[in-house]
Each structure stands twice: as C-alpha cells, then as structure tokens.
Amino acid sequence: MVEYAELKLDGKVYQLPIIEGTEKERGIDISKLRAESGYITVDTGFKNTGSTQSAITFLDGEKGILRYRGYPIEQLAEKSTFIEVAYLLIYGELPTSAELEAFENDIKAESLVHEDVKTIMQGFPSTAHPMGVLSSLATSLTAFFPESLDPNRSAEKVNMTIIRLLAKIPTLTAWSYTNARGIRANYPDNSLGYVANFLKMMFALPTEDYEIDPVVVDAMDKIFILHADHEQNCSTSTVRIVGSSHANLYASIAAGINALWGPLHGGANQKVIEMLDAILKNGGDTKKFIDKAKDPNDPFRLMGFGHRVYKNFDPRAQILKKSADTILDKLGVDEPEFEIAKQLEEAALHDEYFIKRKLYPNVDFYSGIIMKAIGIPIEMFPVMFSIGRLPGWIAQWKEMRSHNEPIGRPRQIYVGANERDYVPVESRS
C-alpha cells in the first residue's frame, strides 16, 4: 500500500507518495509537485535529493556500511578481485567461473589500442595533466569506434563498448604515463591478470625485466575494488546526467573523469601527500600542524581526515589501513613522509579534538600512502581512482539507460534582474 506525505501550500493539501528502498531508506516523490502546484523544491548541491532508484550500491554513513549489489565491501576486498567486482557491478551478479573467464578473455582481446592514439598523445605538451590526457583519450575512442556514437544500439553492441572501455583505459593510462616520461610505451601482456598487466605497462622499462610483486598487485587490486562505486557521487551523477542526453558511453565516461579531476572529489589523496611533504619541509613538526588544524581561526585542515558521509568510520579506510601497513612492511620503504603519516594517525586516534568530532583517517589517507609507497607519482593518483571507478560509472550508465530515465534537467529559482529594455552602447553610463 502506498503511503503519502502531505504538503500544505496556499491552503491546499498535496499528497506526495513515499518511496521506500530495500534497506528501508525513505524518500518523498515530488516529481508531480510542480505540475500540480507550480512549486519546485530547492536543494543546492543535491544534498537531500535522490536522483534515481538504484540497485547497485548501498551505503550507510552512520553505520559505516558499504555494499556493492548487497555484498559487504569487507568481503569483496578480502575474497574477490577487481575484475570480478567489475562484473558484479555491471551485470548485477557474481560471475560463475565460466562467465568470469569469458569476461576476462573478452577484455584481453580488446586490450590493444590503435597505434594512431600515440599520435594524439604526442600532441600533448609535457605540461599536460594526466587526467586531461585520459579524458581526451577516452573521448578519442569514439573516433576509432564511430558505431558507438549511437548508444541506442543492441545490448550486444553496447556491451562491446563496455568491454572496450575496461580493456583500453588501463592501456591508455599507462601510455599517457610513459609518454609523459618520454619512454617507450609498453604493450599489454595478456598472460597477466588485469592489475598485474596494468602495473607492468606502467612501470616496465626496456632496459630490465619487470618483476610482478604480488603484494603490490594485491594492494592496487584492493584500492581499485574500494573505489569501484560509491552511489550517486559527483562523477557518477555526471556520467548519468551526460548519458541521459543519449551521449555515447565513451563521452559519458570522459565527463566522469573530468568531474573526478577536482580536488574536492578525486584529488584528496594527492593533497594528503602534499601535506606530508609540507610538514617535512617545515622541519617535521607534526604537533605544529595538528595545533593549526585544531585552531578554529586557522582554515588549515588535516588532509585525509574526516568524511562528509561516514561519521563513525569509513569501512574502506579500515581495509586500506591494513593494506598500507603490509605494503610499508613488505616493501621496506622508509621514506620520512610515512613516519609523519604514522604520527598524524596516532594523534587523530588519541587527541580529544579528533575523537570528539569523529575525525578518523579516511580512504584517501591510506590510498595516498600506498600509492606513494608503490612509486606512483602523485599527479597520477586521480587517474588510478578513475580506473577503479570505471566499472561503477559503467554500471550506473547502464542502469540509467535500461530504466530509460529522462534527460536530466534540474530547475532553478531565478533571482536575476526583472525585465528591462535594451540600452544602446552610446547611451550607457
């Protein structure tokens, strides 16, 4: 039985249906309110606006819950792989072993990119940020696969675009990295798994053998799994809204990459390392920076601490903390930034200011440390996030199209000038 909320406007009562999700989340359906009453709702930043009903990811910030398709993130991080999680997000169920094998083989078959991509890449100056390069190259794939321009094609053809994206984005990422360093691009090695192949394309040099380190592969696999989806965040909402105009999937993903580029979204882990470096340059005095962060008159904040949604703990940070400890231990990396990071972590866990405000190290704190330890340069951090988020963006785009959602088109309350007459330029003062 449908329940209704009542809203009284200008003396008239409007019945607004209540929608309940499978986890008992409740929302008020206002989609007919404007047509019936002339009123719209206003919610800048969409902080309290549900844009869709989605079956992909569930998160509860208060309880520290994150689940993909119902599976707890802790179980997926421990027992699954990124490529299996990608399948789960995109197709809705965990694959059988035959389905997983076919999925991996399909991706491997598409892992090469057209050689002409190198010409496009070489057109970028050495100052180009890798996120800009990646989003441009993602869009450029439409030129190599023009049939993808129409996203209303058969499910089979759309699936081919999905496979191509998963296959080619790691290759494009690695190529943009080697291109920026001025060294020869590495081709995919289809004898390797998805993450190991990606790391080899990134780091193998023509002068020496590249050894796959399973500890590094495992850490990167976990980072990708933990970043694979986070429901209707800024970049995902961007992908859905761009796709809602029936823009093709490559263009929608490129838009997601651009949204993720912002320091308020995908750039936070980079800020963590920059802060650690700044503390070091200032003599390594962590107490001074902690005091600055606690000073209400100082805008400085400890980067990598606190979260808008997770107010008790970030389940992803708990998993990555273990991973960071393992990486630092096994690789034996001993850079001074990591000592500073440990001191900050200790302070946050024991200082009354941080405890009272529930400010724990977040996922960016640990992913920044892990990627730094692995040797990934900080400007590539958001690019790594893009590879991780790719299956989530694809799954959300696919869901939006399969629901045949209308074009995204928010309303506004106009607060500009009222009607006035045009004044010729010579008469303006």
- Chain residues binding ligand ACO by CB under 6 A are 268, 293, 296, 301-308, 357, 359, 362-364
What is the distance between the alpha carbons of residues 251 and 146, in angstroms, rounded to a whole number? 12
Nearer to ligand ACO, 151 or 306 (CB): 306
| Rg for the chain, CA atoms, rounded | 24
Query: In the bound complex, what is the minimum distance in angstroms from residue 10's beta carbon to ligand ACO?
Result: 35
d(CA 309, CA 312): 9
Checking DSSP bridges between strand 4-9 and strand 12-20, what pairing results, if any?
Answer: antiparallel
Least distance in angstroms from the C-beta of 311 to ligand ACO: 8
The residue to which tokens 């500890």 are assigned: 215
- Strand order from edge to edge, sheet including 4-9: 4-9, 12-20, 26-28
71 Cβ neighbours under 8 A, 6+ residues apart: 88, 94
What is the C-alpha to C-alpha distance for residues 339 and 344, in angstroms, rounded to an integer? 9
Q: Identify the helix (H) or strand (E) that includes residue 373.
A: helix 363-374
Nearer to ligand ACO, 206 or 296 (CB): 296
Helix, strand, coil tally for the chain in percent (to 5)? 55, 5, 40
Of the candidates 49, 65, 66, 54, which has an alpha carbon nearest to the alpha carbon of residue 22? 54
Q: How far is the CB of 255 from ligand ACO (least distance, A)?
A: 19
CA–chain centroid gap for 160, Å, is 22
d(CA 309, CA 306): 9
Which positions are catalytic? 307, 364
Strand partners of residue 12: 9
Residue 144 burial by Cβ neighbours in a 10 Å radius (0-12, 13-18, 19+): middle
Nearer to ligand ACO, 34 or 358 (CB): 358
Pick the closest to residue 113 from 195, 36, 205, 175 (CA basis): 175
Give CA separation, 220 vs 216, 263, 367, 371, in Å.
6, 21, 9, 8
In angstroms, the CA 9 to CA 322 distance is: 54
Please report how close the Cβ of residue 308 comes to ligand ACO at its closest, in angstroms.
Answer: 4
**Considering beta carbons, is residue 288 or 403 the nearer one to ligand ACO?**
288
Closer residue to ligand ACO, CB minimum distance, 133 or 320:
320
What is the closest distance, in whole angstroms, from the C-beta atom of residue 314 to ligand ACO in the complex?
A: 7
Q: Which is nearer to ligand ACO, 177 or 305 (CB)?
A: 305
Least distance in Å: CB of 68 to ligand ACO? 16
Asked whether the beta carbons of 226 and 320 are under 8 A apart, the reply is: yes
> Could you give the CA distance from residue 328 to residue 338 in angstroms, rounded to a whole number?
8
CB of 82: closest distance to ligand ACO in angstroms? 18
CA–CA distance, 148 with 141 (Å, rounded to integer): 9
The smaller minimum CB distance to ligand ACO, of residues 250 and 366, is found at 366
Helix, strand or coil, per DSSP, at residue 34: helix
**Phi, psi for 5 (deg, rounded to 5):** -100, 150
Task: Of 362, 230, 364, give the one whose Cα is nearest residue 306.
Answer: 362
